[in-house]
Amino acid sequence: MSSNGEMFSGCTVAMVTPFRDNGIDIPALRNAVDWLISEGVAGLSPAGTTGESPTLSADEHERVVATVVERAAGRVHVVAGSGSNSTAEAVRLTRFAARAGADGALLVAPYYNRPNQDGLYAHYARIAESVDLPLVLYNVPSRTGCNIEPSTVERLSRLARIVAIKEASGSLDQVSDIVSRTDLTVLSGDDSLTLPMMAVGASGVISVAANLVPKKIVAMIDAFVSGNLAKARELHGFLFPLCRALMEVAPNPIPVKTALALVGRGNGELRLPLTPLDTRTRETLSVKLTCRGLRVLEAGAGA
C-alpha cells in the first residue's frame, strides 16, 4: 500500500482561478500564491474544480498550473488539478503537471459518465500506470454523480502512485472505513468537516475556505496535531458558519470568489455557466464575513 502521501498533510488551498475580462489574470494568480504562502499554508492546488477547471481551455489549464509551480518555487507543495471525465484527457493533464514540476496531481472522479466501481478503478489505474507522479484521488459524489466506495479505494491504494484521497462524501463512516482499510493520507474535501475527519484519522484538508481565511484553518489543524483540542474546537466553531455559507448560498466557487471580492482580494469574476450572486444573497454573505471578523470593503461590495 502507498505511504508517501504524508507530504500532502496540513492545509492545502483549492485555489480559485482569477479572471479579468474572461482571461486568466496571471499577476493576480502570482499575488495569490505569495499571499497564501505568507499565511502559512502547506500547499496549493491550482486548476481544480474550485479553479473552474471545466471551463479552462487546455492552454489556460497548463498556464495556471505552470504559473503556480513557478511562483511557489518549492516553498510549499503543489498538487495540480488534472482530473477529467475523459481518462485520456486526465492522463494528458497529469503528464503535463509532472513536466511542469508539480509535486502531485489531484484527480476528481469522472463526472457525468457515472462509471461503476470497475470503471472507476480502471480510470485511476490507467492514469497511475501512465505517469511518474504522486496521485491524490478526489471523491465528491454530490458533484460527480458517483461515489468511490471504500472497497475501490482499498484496491486503488495498492497502486504505488496513489498516495492520498481528498474525501468529500460528507460521511464520517466512509472516512473511517477508508482509514481502517488503507494507509492512504486522507484529506478533507469539506471544510466544515475537517476537524471531525481529523478525529477519525484524516491528516488535513484541501480547502476552499483557505482562499479567504488560511491562517485560521492552519491554526485549527496545528492545534489538533499538537493536542490542543480545546483550541481546535474553538477554531472549528468559529469557522463553521463561514465554511457552510461558502458551500450553501450558491455552487462553489461562486461564494468564495464573491467573498474575496467583498474583502478586496479579487474582482469576483466568474465564467459562464456560473453567474454572480443576487444582491440579497451577496448581502447575506457580507454579513457572515463581518461576523467572522473580516473587513468588508465598500468597493468590494459593489464589485
pLDDT at residue 5, as a whole number: 86
pLDDT tens, 217-230?
999 999 999 999 99
pLDDT at residue 302, as a whole number: 39
With respect to CATH, is domain 4-226 assigned 3.20.20.70? yes
Distance, CA of 217 to CA of 185 (rounded, Å): 18
Question: Which of these ranges, 33-42, 228-237, 290-299, has the smallest mean pLDDT?
Answer: 290-299
pLDDT at residue 131, as a whole number: 97
Please state the φ and ψ torsions of residue 15, each to the nearest 5 degrees: -70, 140
Question: Which of these ranges, 23-32, 95-104, 291-300, has the smallest mean pLDDT?
Answer: 291-300
Whether the CB-CB separation of 5 and 161 falls below 8 Å is answered with no
pLDDT tens, 148-202?
999 999 999 999 999 999 999 999 999 999 999 999 999 999 999 999 999 999 9
74: left (phi over 0), alpha (psi -120 to 50) or beta: left
pLDDT at residue 4, as a whole number: 80
Q: Which residues are catalytic?
A: 138, 166
- pTM higher than 0.85 for the full model? yes
Q: What is the mean pLDDT of residues 6-27?
A: 97
Distance, CA of 268 to CA of 9 (rounded, Å): 29
